[in-house]
Chains A and B, each alone.
Chain A
């Protein structure tokens, strides 16, 4: 709204600018929606049509065969996926919820403490310590983090012995469990910054008023601060949700057992099988790979991969719809607009 002044919009120059801006924004919206449209349309095509050249914009005979084949993929191609697809869904859900349940309280309490409770000389070093984790790209810490999941707190493949004995130090081993995904995400520096920015804006007098009223520090946080801060909670939960649900590299590194693998790993496995078999060329080449041969015979090609893509994207989308009001408020607060 404020991009254009309220007064003087009817001037010809303003009108041209206004229309251009509209056209640009609509172009942006369409550009963003085209991939989704193609995903949906392809997911409703039969296998042959999904690979036809030139591609059709919308299937001639929409069918749900891709959806049903993907959902039962573990029955048809056991060697490709050992677990039913719902299992991977469940794993992803557990990891995501687990991370949210751990990370949001931990991060927000840390931010609240840094913002409102710890006064004096220690504040600044503490703050730098917290946001220090933002200063290294995640890829740099990937291997050390992986090693830490093997023998916490030693970043070593094998724990050292207690000096003077043959007994190895007791270590925490979370590698190849879902805790390897949840625990390292227990504190998020970017969410910490969002929380702290918001809490800094809350006047101290409100907290002092609650103290004088007799609220304990934790009660003040729970009953006064959290209800005031719902938008920022929505934003951080959304970021965490999206981040963990869509994470691929870290689960790939720390999770070996397919029974606990998240959906992203399963999708990658299926997608690799297809592209490895030369899905991009012809249907005949597809039949050559034994693992996916039964799938191809029953009519699965890129339509199935599109279904997987949609399944992966859907929860984040649904979350956004539900938390829309708070998210937009939160985004406004953070000045991201």
Chain B
């Protein structure tokens, strides 16, 4: 195990000769990140944001154009992936198709010229770790395994070497929902048990939240924000992070601060601001962000923003319901009780000012966020 430090790493891709595009495309732009020993970091972001590239650069599968990668205090920037001692799990499993399960794990020992005893010893340990039924997978031809079984072999192949760093590139996104849940828990268990330093790349924020001790949000080759879930949720640095984290996403309403009140633009309606916010907010245009649970929902007109209810989505497993509606032409979501009556056609929403986010109107920067609440 070791800590991983990424220092100002950039990576560019050059288009092929003869293609119409001539400018290089940025894969990573000045990415810096420090992953503590034994920590799991989730990297989340939309596709093409560079999260897989970051993983490959850390593994040494792609060179960094500039910047440094350190494992503990050792600079590995110019060390080949073969020598870095990382373990990697891939979205498409990447098992060696012409080999049986066990041979997939053996390849490491074969190329490292390890003894047969050492290999058998490790295989036994791994089989115990991976739990019931894992031995059975070892004897089977890879193409007869199901997706979940393949990924179990993939994970085993990765831990059999006792890796310095565990890198996972969307390891469970090809599995069906139930299996995804199970594999996710299993990976989490393994990570906790060994305290392996791990980087977990995913496009699914739920997964990122579940797996990661900390979460790095990436966008267009840059790490926008790096922190715990609470930090990302309660103090997003910008609108991108704010809308990425949380389902359904945060509702964003263009507004304008006018003296003591906030004017919601799409309905031309003023809401009185609490005095503590008036001091902190600059006058003029901005954007108000309210999470679905950050609304105070009223069925009677009590000075809230009128919303035309378009649907009520009941989540029976969560014992809650989401109310979907429109403010002018904008769609909003609000969290309501599971037994919220279906026949209601209009509700009035008031932001819970302690949970309201404010973003600049022209840029996406956050002006004011509620901050992590003191729960305990």
Contact B92 A122 (CB under 8 A): no
List A contacts of B61 (CB < 8 A).
Answer: 208, 211-212
Give the distance in Å from the alpha carbon of A124 to the alpha carbon of B14 in the complex.
13
Q: Which residues of A contact B14 (CB under 8 A)?
A: 120-121
Roughly how many angstroms separate A314 CA and B328 CA in the complex, as a whole number?
Answer: 82
Segment with Cβ contacts to A, from B41-49, B93-101, B261-269: B93-101
> Hey, which chain A residues are within 8 Å of B88, CB to CB?
208-209, 212
B98 touches A206 (CB 8 A): no
Q: With the chains together, A208 CA to B80 CA distance in Å?
A: 12
- Residues facing A in B35-65 (CB within 8 A) are 56, 59, 61
Interface footprint category on A: 20 to 34
- Distance, CA A203 to CA B98, complexed state (A): 14
Task: Please give the distance in Å from A200's CB to the nearest CB on chain B.
Answer: 15
Q: Which of A7-15, A75-83, A221-229 is near enough to bind chain B?
A: A221-229
> In the complex, which residues 222-263 of chain A have their Cβ closer than 8 Å to any Cβ of chain B?
223-224, 227-228, 230
B98 touches A228 (CB 8 A): yes
How far apart sit A219 and B108, CA to CA, in the bound complex (Å)? 12
| Of B15, B59, B99, the contact of A212 (CB 8 Å cutoff) | B59
Contacts of A228 in B (CB 8 A): 96-98
Could you jot down 28 A-B contacts, CB within 8 Å?
A: A120-B14, A121-B14, A124-B16, A203-B92, A205-B90, A205-B169, A206-B96, A206-B97, A208-B56, A208-B81, A208-B90, A209-B90, A209-B95, A209-B96, A209-B157, A212-B59, A212-B81, A212-B86, A213-B107, A213-B108, A213-B111, A213-B157, A215-B82, A216-B82, A219-B111, A224-B98, A228-B96, A228-B98
User: Is A335 part of the contact surface with B, judged by Cβ < 8 Å?
Assistant: no
Q: For the complex, what is the distance from the CA of A124 to the CA of B19, rounded to whole Å?
A: 10
* A132 contacts chain B at the CB level, 8 A cutoff: no
A293 cross-chain contacts in B, Cβ below 8 A: none
Add 12 more A-B contacts to A120-B14, A209-B94, A219-B111 (CB < 8 A): A120-B16, A121-B15, A122-B17, A206-B95, A208-B90, A209-B88, A212-B59, A213-B107, A214-B83, A216-B82, A223-B110, A227-B96
B131 an interface residue at 8 Å Cβ cutoff?
no
Report Cα–Cα, A121/B16, bound state, in Å. Answer: 4
Instruction: Tell me, yes or no, whether B91 is within 8 Å of chain A by CB.
Output: yes
Q: Whose C-beta in chain A lies nearest to the C-beta of B154?
A: A209
Is B275 interfacial (CB 8 A cutoff)?
Answer: no
Determine the chain A residues whose CB is within 8 A of the CB of B169 once the complex forms: 205
Residues of A close to B341: CB separation below 8 A: none
Q: Which residues of B contact A125 (CB under 8 A)?
A: 17-18
Chain A nearest CB: distance from B134 CB in Å?
19
In the complex, the chain A residue whose C-beta lies closest to that of B97 is A228
Residue of B nearest to A128 (CB): B18
State whether the Cβ of B112 lies closer than 8 Å to any Cβ in chain A: yes
CB distance from A207 to the nearest CB of B (A): 8
* Alpha-carbon separation in the docked complex, A230 to B99 (Å): 13
Bound: A194/B79 CA distance, A: 34
A121 near B90 with CB under 8 A, answer no
In the docked arrangement, what's the CA distance between A124 and B16, Å? 7
The answer to whether residues A208 and B94 also contact, given A215-B107, A219-B111, A223-B110 and a CB cut-off of 8 A, is yes
Q: Please determine whether B91 and A205 come into contact, CB atoms closer than 8 angstroms.
A: yes
Residues of chain B contacted by A208 (CB below 8 angstroms) = 56, 59, 61, 81, 88, 90, 94
* A residues near B15, Cβ cutoff 8 Å: 121
Kindly identify, within residues 65 to 124 of chain B, every residue whose CB is under 8 Å from any CB belonging to chain A: 80-84, 86-88, 90-92, 94-99, 107-108, 110-112
Within 8 A of B (CB), among A121-157: 121-125
Q: Are B98 and A205 in contact (CB under 8 A)?
A: no
Do A124 and B17 touch (CB < 8 A)? Answer: yes
The residues of B that contact A224 with a CB separation of less than 8 Å are 96, 98, 107
* Chain B residues closer than 8 Å to A230, beta-carbon distance: 98
Nearest-neighbor residue (CB-CB) of A228 within chain B: B98
